[in-house]
A = this chain, B = another copy of it.
Amino acid sequence: MSEQSKENQLVFFFGGGDAEGGADLAHLLGGKGSNLAEMSSIGVPVPPGFTISTEVCRQYYENDREYPEGLHATVQEYLGRVEELMGKKFGDPEDPLLFSIRSGAPVSMPGMMDTVLNVGLNDETVQGLIKQSDDPRFSYDSYRRLVQMYGDVVKGIDGDKYEELIDKKKEEVGADRDTDLTADDWKDLVGQFKDLYKEETGETFPDDPEEQLWGGITAVFGSWNNERAVKWREINDLPHDVGTAVNVQTMVYGNMGADCATGVAFTRDPANGAKEAIGEYLPNAQGEDVVSGVRTPRPLNSYEREKSGKDLPTLEEEMPAAYEELTEVFDLLEEHYQEMQDIEFTVQNKTLYILQTRTGKRTAPAMVKIAHDLAEEGIITRKKALDRVEPKRLDQMLHPMIDPEAKEENEAIATGLGASPGAAVGQIVFESDEAEEWVEEGKDVLLVRHETSPDDIGGMNVAEGILTSRGGGTSHAAVVARGMGKPCVAGCGALNIDYDKKQVEVHGEVYEEGDWFTIDGASGEVFAGQLGMTEAKLTGEFEELMSWADQYRELGVRTNADTPKDAELAREFGAEGIGLTRTEHMFFEEERIDNVRQMILAAPDVQDLRLQKEALEDELETAQESQIEEIEEQLEKVEGELEETLPQYQQALDALLPEQRSDFEGIFEAMDGLPVTVRLLDPPLHEFLPEEEEDQKRLADRFDISLGEVQQLLRNLEEFNPMLGHRGCRMGISYPEVYEMQTRAIMEASVNVASKGVDVQPEIMIPLVGIPRELEILRERVDAVCQEVLREADQVVDYKIGTMLELPRACVRAAEIAEHAEFFSFGTNDLTQTTFGISRDDAGKFLEHYQHEGIIDKDPFAALDQNGVGELLRMGVERGRQTRKALKVGICGEHGGEPSSVKFCDEAGLDYVSCSPYRVPIARLAAAQSAIDVQEDLTSY
């Protein structure tokens, strides 16, 4: 039949391994109808029937609820074809053919329209059903359902009235549940329902199957314009003139005797992805029996039996022919839908019917394996396989996680912010010292604190995981934990920690030091007790899939790594360089923090004296002759003080130099042949000073000053909004020696490893630039040190100097900034904070509510805000490249490992994304998906 004539066809047949329509005719057949046709046309045994097209619906409404001419005759003809196929007759008192009548619009409108089942039953034909099923209770129950649904759907009788009658009957006979009612009870109810029908409509319930059929069809077409459906279309902005199709399909039953069965199956194992069908079934049963739990379902086959450990007969053994046919259907469906399927089937008198098929849900490992295997089997292309894998779900495969079953059995006692993924089990301790002691004794601990500080590094380092009651995603705990690759739940406000009593109270429950907790650093859940864990594994299929991803993607993937260990791990995961090495984490390390603090003790004085000196020099330039002498005296005094203060400062920096150098050497060696971007010091100085008085005292003793002096310094350095304070390049401008020391360490390390044959590619990154001149000044200073080191060593090492774009102003002025930068790296964490004017640490108070209210779709700190932050990012890229065409541009915020953000970065023309080691595979896959998207439309397969 030609396409044109199909458009004019009013009724479409399906069944018997054939169909008049298919997926391409969804606009006429609706979703359900076209799926049934599709399955049938590829030879899947669906219960046969026919679909009355949406065109009929449209004409019906256009012609004042009159059906098109000839429809009755056509339906009659198609009904005959079904009778022929099934070998049964509609209205046959011996063995009646029964139908379901269902709506099916081109777009899914779940539950909005009506359905009538068991059409064709009456007092005569029910006897035939009893004979066939040998089950009067089932037969009368089916009959009463028809009467009930027909009354409800066709005549609009209030459904509650039927339920009242059932309830009354249950009371009468002392039955608790519907299933306690007998065949006679149901039979009686059929009578009562019919009486109700008469009462409500003034008409007798139609016994004539044909009358039932047309009543049902008309009711379903009518439901297209019922109140619910109209409202639903309004809410979802759908057109009202599309219409619905009506599907008239043979009813099949799995409870017609011993040669009947019903069950569910997956075409592959959804737990691990193995190419083995699994499933459950029940002989002589209805579909709902399989899930109700009244009877124990049996395993589909030996694979399932072995896996489940249920020593029961299988369909494979009991009904080998049906099973054989089923496995053929599995292949048919997988090949056609190119996906693992989740199927409902019924065997009615030895004949297999597939009631439904849909894409099967699966675990992350199964997702990977199935995508891989389908490609290897030639069912899908590699590109399609890559597209099938959800990058986000890989996360759980890359970290140890709580055993899903254990998670289901236990309820979280509290939920905080999932600040660093992975799960951890340990005994809770509240002090870092204690954590270290306990671990030395061989215990596993979880460090539980209000917040962590640099003084907790030791404890954090030995703990299995970290749990804090305050702070957010960029709190010390969160940042350091992520850096360490250690699970962390932060800002869990429900914890009331009492350090003195060494206990924590959670919703009225008190837990003591030493109690076991389990935390999930991805979901933020906290559990009491020891939950079982599953280890992360990189299967061969996963690795192979990743290599396919690398073939297609254009976007580079680097990692954020602060240690050689992390760098190595990331390289194993496929990182092509380091996009961000944070030098401050090195500062936090225990043996160095003293030197850092010594430097900080002197730094504000040095800065202050220098400012005074500058001011005096300025004064001198414009001074009257009479003032010159006095100014010169003051200047001399200030210079004297500066000379006294500088050594302490410089000495501390000198001590840090070799330590930083060796840090960099390790990282450069691990990244041999790949670029390494090192960010110069970013956080404000006060972050390196102790918060607890006890630690402050220790610091005071160490440097032979008073506690008061330490606290005064802290007060001086304290900031109202540290996020917007004296940090990043602002500090680099104020304290040139710090950046100079770091640059020297980077370049000396480069020279050292290069002389050992390592291919070192250092990229020095200056953070938080907002004003082009900031970068101009610092670039010059940094470059001078680089040149000096290379001159001293008489060696050549290629290096780059660039900057982070993390402020709106930097994006706006990117053209000028690019004059001084060989590369840009977007720091989208800070860019998000400044663009939104939202502190990530404080956002918890309202962002949750925002998501609930639909004010934001996603947490902008998790997925890049493409409309706001993204527009500034694009502006930065465009303007930067206007100045410097070859400008290398990357992103090193945490968005670099989030799939939708990676795709955005690819489209925005970035050269690479950089993310934490564990997210590197996710970014590789997301980048491949983005490239595939661009290259071709996958739907054309």
Q: Which residues of A contact B (CB under 8 A)?
A: 471-472, 493, 607, 611, 614-615, 618, 716, 719-726, 730, 733-734, 768, 770-771, 773-774, 777, 806-809, 812-813, 830, 833-839, 841-842, 845-846, 848-850, 852-856, 865, 867-869, 871-872
Q: In the docked arrangement, what's the CA distance between A441 and B720, Å?
A: 37
A654 to chain B, nearest CB (A): 24
How far is A215 from B830 in the complex, measured between Cα atoms in Å? 67
A872 near B812 with CB under 8 A, answer yes
Shortest Cβ distance from A773 into B: residue: B855
30 contacts between A and B (CB under 8 A): A614-B849, A618-B852, A720-B723, A720-B839, A720-B841, A721-B841, A721-B842, A723-B724, A723-B837, A724-B724, A724-B838, A724-B839, A726-B846, A733-B846, A733-B853, A734-B845, A734-B849, A770-B868, A771-B836, A773-B853, A774-B855, A806-B837, A807-B835, A808-B835, A808-B837, A809-B835, A809-B836, A809-B837, A813-B867, A834-B837
Interface-centre pick from A615, A719, A807, A842 (highest chain B CB count, 10 A)? A842
A614 to B842, CA, bound (A): 21
| Cα distance A493–B853 in the bound complex, in angstroms | 45
- Taking a contact as CB atoms closer than 8 A, the residue among B720, B813, B852 that contacts A868 in the complex is B813
Chain B nearest CB from A684 CB (Å) reads 9
Check if B611 sits within 8 Å of A848, measured CB to CB.
Answer: yes
Give bound CA distance, A733 to B733, whole Å: 40
Measured CB to CB, the closest approach of chain B to A732, in angstroms, equals: 10
User: Contact at B720–A842, with CB atoms within 8 Å?
Assistant: yes
A720 to chain B, nearest CB (A): 4
Q: Which residues of B have CB within 8 Å of A719?
A: 839, 841-842
Given contacts A723-B724, A725-B845, 15 further A-B contacts (CB under 8 A): A611-B852, A618-B852, A721-B722, A724-B839, A725-B838, A733-B846, A733-B850, A770-B835, A773-B854, A807-B837, A808-B835, A808-B868, A809-B865, A809-B868, A812-B835
* A489, B278: Cα distance in complex, Å: 78
For the complex, give the distance between the alpha carbons of A693 and B84 in Å.
91
Kindly provide the distance from the CB of A473 to the nearest chain B CB, expressed in whole angstroms: 11
A771 CB contacts on chain B under 8 angstroms = 836, 850, 855-856
Within the complex, what minimum Cβ distance (angstroms) separates A664 from chain B?
27
A726: which B residues are within 8 A, CB to CB? 842, 845-846
Q: Contact check: which of B722, B773, B836 meets A807 at CB < 8 Å?
A: B836
Q: Chain B: which residue is nearest A841 at the CB level?
A: B720
Closest residue on chain B to residue A719 by CB atoms = B842
Q: Pick the residue among B614, B768, B835, B839 that contacts A721 (CB under 8 A).
A: B839
A837 contacts B768, C-beta separation under 8 Å: yes
CB distance from A838 to the nearest CB of B (A): 5
Let me know if A770 and B839 touch, CB within 8 A: no
Contacts of A865 in B (CB 8 A): 809
Does A733 lie within 8 Å of B849, measured CB to CB? yes
Residue of B nearest to A450 (CB): B715
Residues of B close to A774: CB separation below 8 A: 855
Please measure, in the bound complex, the distance between the C-alpha atom of A867 and the C-alpha atom of B810, giving whole angstroms: 11
A246 to B471 CA separation, bound complex (whole angstroms): 73
Task: Determine if B812 and A770 form an interchain contact, defined as CB atoms under 8 angstroms apart.
Answer: no
Chain B minimum-CB-distance residue to A850: B733
Q: A213 CA to B723 CA in the complex, in Å?
A: 69
- Contact across chains for B770 and A838 when beta carbons are under 8 A apart: yes
Chain A residues touching B, majority SS: helix
Cα–Cα, bound, A813→B833 (Å): 16
Q: Which B residues lie within 8 Å of A773 (CB)? A: 853-856
* C-alpha gap A611/B615 in the complex (Å): 55
CA distance A547 to B846 in the complex (A): 49
The 10 nearest A-B residue pairs measured at CB: A724-B839, A721-B839, A808-B808, A809-B868, A725-B842, A807-B837, A720-B841, A721-B721, A726-B845, A719-B842
Complex: A299 Cα to B812 Cα, angstroms: 59
Closest CB in chain B relative to A778 CB, distance in Å: 10
Q: Given A807-B837, A809-B835, A869-B809, is A724 in contact with B842 using a C-beta cutoff of 8 Å?
A: yes
Q: Which residue in chain B gives the minimum CB-CB distance to A475?
A: B720
Whether the Cβ atoms of B721 and A846 lie closer than 8 Å is no
Cα of A471 to Cα of B715 in the assembled complex, Å: 12
A855 is contacted by which of B720, B777, B842, B855 (Cβ under 8 Å)?
B777
Q: Which residues of B contact A830 (CB under 8 A)?
A: 837
Please, which residues of chain B bring their CB within 8 A of the CB of A730? 845-846
**Alpha-carbon separation in the docked complex, A773 to B851 (Å):** 11
Which of B722, B812, B837 makes the CB contact (< 8 A) with A720?
B722
A813 to B855, CA, bound (A): 14
Give the chain B neighbours of A855 by CB distance below 8 A.
Answer: 733, 771, 773-774, 777
Q: How far is the CB of A605 from chain B (nearest CB, A)?
A: 13
A607 to chain B, nearest CB (A): 8
Give, as a whole number of angstroms, the nearest-CB distance from A176 to chain B: 16
Measured CA separation A493–B768 after assembly (Å):
26
How distant is the Cα of A724 from the Cα of B720 in the complex, in angstroms?
11
A865 to B833, CA, bound (A): 20
- Chain B, Cβ-Cβ closest to A768: B837
Q: How far is the CB of A767 from chain B (nearest CB, A)?
A: 11
Query: How far is the CB of A882 from the nearest CB of chain B, in Å?
Result: 15
Complex alpha-carbon distance, A768 and B837, angstroms: 8
Find chain B residues with CB under 8 A from A845 CB: 725-726, 730, 734
Bound Cα distance from A614 to B852, whole angstroms:
8
Name the CB-closest residue of B to A731: B846
Q: Find chain B residues with CB under 8 A from A808 CB.
A: 808, 834-835, 837, 868, 872
Question: Which B residues are in CB contact (< 8 Å) with A721?
Answer: 721-724, 839, 841-842
**Bound complex: CA of A716 vs CA of B450, how far in Å?**
12
Q: Which residues of B contact A809 (CB under 8 A)?
A: 835-837, 865, 868-869
Q: How far is the CB of A224 from chain B (nearest CB, A)?
A: 26
CA distance A837 to B768 in the complex (A): 8
Residues of chain B contacted by A868 (CB below 8 angstroms) = 770, 808-809, 812-813
| Alpha-carbon distance A722/B845, docked complex (angstroms) | 12
Question: What's the minimum C-beta distance from A82 to chain B, rounded to whole angstroms?
Answer: 36
Whether the pair B846, A734 counts as a contact (CB closer than 8 A) is: yes
Contacts of A722 in B (CB 8 A): 720-721, 842
Cβ of A833 and Cβ of B724 under 8 Å apart?
Answer: yes
Which of A730, A871, A872 has the largest count of B CB atoms less than 10 A from its CB?
Answer: A730
A817 to B854, CA, bound (A): 16
Complex-state Cα separation, A839 to B724, whole angstroms: 5
- Contact across chains for B723 and A867 when beta carbons are under 8 A apart: no
* CB within 8 Å for A867 and B812 given contacts A721-B724, A724-B842, A771-B856: yes
Closest to A875 in B: B812
How far is A871 from B815 in the complex, measured between Cα atoms in Å?
14
- Pairwise interchain contact B837-A770, C-beta atoms closer than 8 A: yes
A416 to B833, CA, bound (A): 30
Which residues of chain B are near A611, meaning CB under 8 Å? 848-849, 852
**Contacting residues, chain B, for A720 (C-beta < 8 A):** 471-472, 722-723, 839, 841-842
A837 and B724 within 8 A (CB): yes
**Residues in B neighbouring A848, C-beta threshold 8 A:** 611
In the docked arrangement, what's the CA distance between A388 and B852, Å? 58
Nearest-neighbour CB distance to chain B for A647, whole angstroms, equals: 22
CA distance A848 to B842 in the complex (A): 29
Complex interface: chain B residues within 8 A of A835 (CB): 770, 807-809, 812, 834
A89 CA / B833 CA spacing, docked (Å): 81
Residue contact B836 to A770, C-beta cutoff 8 Å? yes
Shortest Cβ distance from A715 into B: residue: B470
> Which of A833, A836, A838, A856 has most B Cβ within 10 Å?
A838
Residue of B nearest to A869 (CB): B809
Query: Which residue, of A770, A774, A777, A869, has the highest number of chain B Cβ atoms within 10 A?
Result: A770
Chain B neighbourhood of A833, CB < 8 A: 724
Query: How far is it, in angstroms, between the C-alpha of A277 and the C-alpha of B254 when the chains are bound?
Result: 118
Q: Provide the bound-state CA to CA distance between A349 and B853, in Å.
A: 92
CA distance A648 to B262 in the complex (A): 60
CA distance A813 to B865 in the complex (A): 12
Residues on the B chain within 8 Å of A723, using CB? 720-721, 724, 837, 839
